[in-house]
Every structure is written in structure tokens, then in C-alpha cells.
Structure 1
Amino acid sequence: MAKFTGIFSESLTAVKSFKLRTFFSVIGIAFGIASLSIIVAAVEGAFKRAYEVVESFGPDSVLIFGGSQEQKGIRSRQKTLTIYDIKDLKRAFPEIKIIMPIVRVRTKVYYRGNVEETRLYGVDTNFEEAWSWYLLEGRMFTDQELKRKENLCIIGKYIKETLFKNEDPLGKSIILNRLPCRVIGVLSERGTTPTGRNLDNRVLMPYTTVMYKINHDPVYISSIRIRYYPGVDLSSVIKETERFLIMKHHARKDDFFILSPTEILNFLVALTGTLILFLGFSSTISLSIGGFVLANLFLLSVSERKKEIGIRKALGAKKKDIMLQFITEAVIITSIGAFIGFGLGVISAKLLKNIVDFPVHFSIEGFLIALVVSFIVGVVSSLNPALKAANLNPIEAIRG
């Protein structure tokens, strides 16, 4: 132990003495570790965000859209789902706990000269339970109000803040698609989706009101929200639902699209994959350059320190002691680089998050991975210089 302490002390002295070598080596390693830290944090953040989104979406739920996935890409979906599909699905699948029609309309909402572009959703009285999304204040409309197609609405928190400022919105009237509507509730805050869409910028109305008074279409709906009883095999029931709708519509599968928690997870992983690959390539290049610089500076250091090495060997230092000192010096340098690099990674990730709202999550595991990688780079880079120093002839080294 005393011997190792002595070697560590000498290594630390050498690191302090060769300041320029240490500086360039630390910088090279720090940039590589910074990239690596962001990768690890991005992977952890992506999965954390994915599971948060799935939890918000509902792990026991699906959303069925009318039209194909390709039509969604061009922001145009055919109307293929009907209000009759709701009744037929409910009868065909006893596993369904809640099924709710959704009628979606992009529109503008007006209140006393203030205007905001928003999404209007026609829903039924099961909205809160269907989405586990509850009201912050006010109330939900009733079954009787739904049947009577009353002009009632519930607004998102963003709409409340932008249109009403500090004013209480309950009981006030807003204009949606030239239809006056009385506000009876405010939704709790949900934030944004991984793609940056503001979930709080929405207005809910009875779907009957939207269908009859805004769309003037009593048959077609935009989507269907289904929540199943606990313990249901989701993948199996989704396949059965697909077959059922294909037969019912006498159409191909692209007549509709079913969004499930699995689809969301796959999407989020794909969304982060490109950036992770780019950062992975960058960190590999940076760490390789850092290791190359470290190895060459240590080879140069061996030449400069021949006399010191020769004297130590003449005084009884063994080959493994010389090797251990050089490797320890390299590990100290790369460890310093790891600490600085991790700090740079945290700062860079915060900037990245502010620019693109990319999910990052730093943890002690991420830091330990960066530290272990820096140890490996230090050992591998210093191995050849350490062997060269250990094999020097003491007499020739002193003369040199």
C-alpha cells in the first residue's frame, strides 16, 4: 500500500510538472467524455420520456384514427370511422372498459378581441377517465347536456392564460367557429408532446355539438379512444380489433390506424436514435483523438525523462513500477478529463434542451460510465509508452 501511495504521489507530481502535456491531454479527453455523457443522458432521458408519455397516454389504451398513416403524414385523413363503429366495437369486445368518440377540428377561439388558434375536440362525458386527465376547476358536461347538444366547453390551461389572463373564465362565453360557447371547466396542465405540440392549447365540447353544429355531419368521427380492463393482452386485442374493422368497413387495413403504447415507444426511440448515432460517432472520434494525443505526448515524455527513469531503475525500481507510474499518470489525466467532460456534457445538454427540447437525464450511472471509459482510454493510451520506459537500459538512459 505504501509503495502504491508513493507511485501515486510521484505520478501526481509529474502531472503537475508537465503542465502543457497535461492540458492538451485533458482537453482531448474532456471533449470525448462530454459527447459520451450526452449520449448516456440522452438514452436515459429518451426512455424516461417514453415511459412518461406511455403512462400519460395509458398503457391499457389505444387510439384509432380514420384513414391511413400515410395520410396523416400529409396532414389529410379520410373520414372512415363512424359513430356506429363505437356501438359495434362495444358489443364485440367485452374487454373494453371505456370507448369514446373524438371529433377533431382546427379552429380559432375568440374572447373580447383576443384570438388564439387552437384544436377543438368533441368528446363525451367519459373524457377524464378515458385519458386520466382531470379538470383543474369547474365541471364536466352531463349526459343530458350531451344529448341536447348544448354549447358548453372546457378549455385547456394555455387557452385560459392567453385569452383570459387573470380573469376567471368560468361562466364566460367564447366564440368557436362562429358558435358561442359557455366555459364550464378548465383542464389541468399536461405540457407538450415529444414533438413539441402544446397539449394545453385545446378546447373540449360535447361531440354531438361539434358534429351537428360545427361539422354538420352526424355520422363520421375523427378517432376512437378505447381503454381496456386491467390484465388484457393488448397486442392480441389490437389484432382482433383490426380484423373486426377491416371486415366491418369492407376495406383494407389502411382504412384506419391504431396507435398503441408500443407504437409510441418505437416512435420515441427512433426520434432519439439519429442524434444518439451522431453523438456516438463524435464521441468515438474525440476519444480516439484524445487517446492518440495522450499516447504521443507520453512517448515524448519518455524521451524527455530518460535520465529520471534511468536513475530510478539504478536505485532499484522494477519494470512494473515504472510501468505503473506512467499508467497512473495517464489515468489521473483522463480522470481529470472525465470530470471536466461530464461538466461540459451537463452544460451542453442544457443548451440542447433549450434549443430543441430534447429529453436528457443525467445520473450517477452515466458519470460512472464516463469515468470507466476514461480509465480505459488512459490505460490503453499509456501502455506502449509505459512499456518503452520500463524497458530502457538504466546506464544508457542516464547517459542520454
Structure 2
Amino acid sequence: MASHRRPKQPSRARVTVLTATAAAAVALTSQTAQADPKPSKTDVKAKVDKLYEEAEKATEKLNGAKEQQGKLQKQVDNLQDKVARGQDELNDLRDDLGSVASAQYRSGGMDPALQLFLSSDPDDYLDKASALDQIGTKQTEAINEIQGKQRALAQQRKEAQEKLGDLADTREVLGSKKREVQTKLGDAQKLLNSLTAQERAALKAEEAREAEKAKEAADRAADTAEKAASTNGGDDRASRDTDRADVSESKPSSGRASSAYAAAQSVLGKPYIYGTSGPNSFDCSGLTSWAFAQANISIPRTSQAQTGAGARINSQSDLQVGDLVFFYSDLHHVGFYAGNGQVLHAPRTGTVVRYESIDNMPYQFGVRVG
């Protein structure tokens, strides 16, 4: 007979536990939602700036790898040319040796004493024997030369192979650094996309205002220096032709730095694009190396290497317009000193060549090229 007992009701304690658990879950969900609010414009800017800084570090390493790749490629090309020329020379030597051997074979293999006994003209034979002896000496010299060429050729081939290996490693580094830069820039763009259009416009407007202030400060410094140069120089035109913000004509680098600085000024507003060095876009060291190249001065491509391009200047008070200025402990950023505490540089992705306060970045030291 079937049982018709009523199902057992949950106890009051069990209901209480379930209710508390559900409430805790709802509260935790609510807390989680509250703990992950939309980041503020200030927070996004700080994170984006950090990503851009990391991208620029990787960019300078990318530039270094590019420079190294170019040097290695030239070395490989030169070695391969040497190997090709050496092989041609070796082939010529072998051909000459083969001709000598053929001549000896055609002269016959008869014993020299018997040839002298049978000769109808002993004097003629002795002359020929002397010539053959000379041929033998030349043959020995040719063999020695061939052996030397073979050793040199083997060494050049080994060097070329090693350089090719270095070139392959450098290309791997190049690809890795390029991917790193692209990843950092992509992450920065995602953060910027999390802002509203209004917030992004506000950030750009703020940057534009700061750049305009920096430009005005640099212009004031240039005007002051120009007046001072005119007053102190009298009719000395050479003095007025030196750096607008550097009235110290005794500095040997002032004229050269002035030309490079003027070149950098001519590309104000050009966009920052990592890995480029003008004339339509620049990264930080691309701008400085390009500008000095316009003044017929060759300096290294990367910011770290450019620190050795001239005399070091530690104090900001000793800086002159046109000096290179370096920032961050690893020296991954460089620009031109523009006077009055301002820098002319290519800042980072999303910006253009512009003026900026030297205090916006951790200054390390300057370098006067000349």
C-alpha cells in the first residue's frame, strides 16, 4: 500500500542558513561591482603615460637593434665580397699551378743524368735544366701561396658564418622589441578608448595648453638672448649668428648646436612615430640624430649612445640652447634644451614635436656636442 506521508519541511535553522548564504552572495556581488568602478580620467592618464614610457624604452632598444643590424649586414656583405674575391684568386693560382705541372709532364720523366749523357748539345741541356729548376721553385712558391689563400678563405668564411648568426639573433631581438612596443601602444589605446570622447578631448586640450606655455617660455628666452647678443656684440655679426639663446660665443659648439636646434625647430608639429628619424615623423632620438645630420654632424642613433656625443653637463643652470638633454635613469629619452627651463623634443606616441617643461621628466644631465 502506497505511503501518503507529507514531505519533510526544512528546519528553521536550515532556512536561516540558506537565507544568510543568499544574502552574502548578493552582498558580495554588490561589493564586487562597487570595487571595480570605471577608472577616472586622471587614473587613465597616469596608466597611459606609464605605458607610453615603457613603449619608448622598448623603442630605443628597437632602434639599437636596427642600428646593430645595419652594421652587421655591412660586415657580412664585406666578408662575402672578400670570400668571393679570394675564391677567384685561389682559382687563378690553381690554374697557374696546373699549367706548370703540365709543362713538367710534357718535358718527360727521363733521369736527368741520362738526358745529359744522350744530349747532342750538353750546354743547351744544362740551360733547360736550370729553367726547369726555376720552374720547380716557382711551383713550390705557388703551392705555399695556394695553401695560404685556402687558410685565409676558410677564416673569412668562418667569420662570415658567425656574423650571419649574429645577424639572425639581432633580427629576433628586432622582432621581439617591435612586438613589445606594439603591445604597449595597444594597451594604452585600449585605456584611452575607455574614456568618453569628451574626456579624451579634455586630455588633448590640456596637453595643447601645456605645449603652448612651453613654447611661449622658450620664445621669451630666445628674445632675451637675442637682445643680449645684439647689445654685447655691437657690429659683430658672427656673434648674432650664434645660437639665439646662447650669447657665449666662446663655446666651440654653439654654432653647430644652433644649426641642429634650428633644424629641430623646423619640424615642430611633425608626429611622433616610434622607430622613425624624419623628415616627416620622429621618435625622440630620431629627432636629435636627424637634426644634427642637417648640420653635417653625425651622432649615434639611440639616446643611450648619444650620451657620449659630447661634453657632459650635470647642472641645469649650465645648459645652453641646443644642448642635448637626457631623462630617466636608463636614459631612454632625449631632446634639445630650448632655454628658460624648456625642452624641444618628440615626446611619445600620440603627440608631435613640441616644447615642454624640463621639469615634466626626471632630468639626468646634458651633453654639448662640438
Decide: shared fold, TM above 0.5.
no
| Structure in which a larger fraction of residues adopt helix | 2
- Bigger radius of gyration: 2
| Structure in which a larger fraction of residues adopt strand | 1
Does 1 or 2 have the higher relative contact order (CA < 8 Å, sep 6+)?
Answer: 1
Could you tell me the TM-score, scaled by structure 2's length?
0.28
Could you tell me the TM-score, scaled by structure 1's length?
0.27
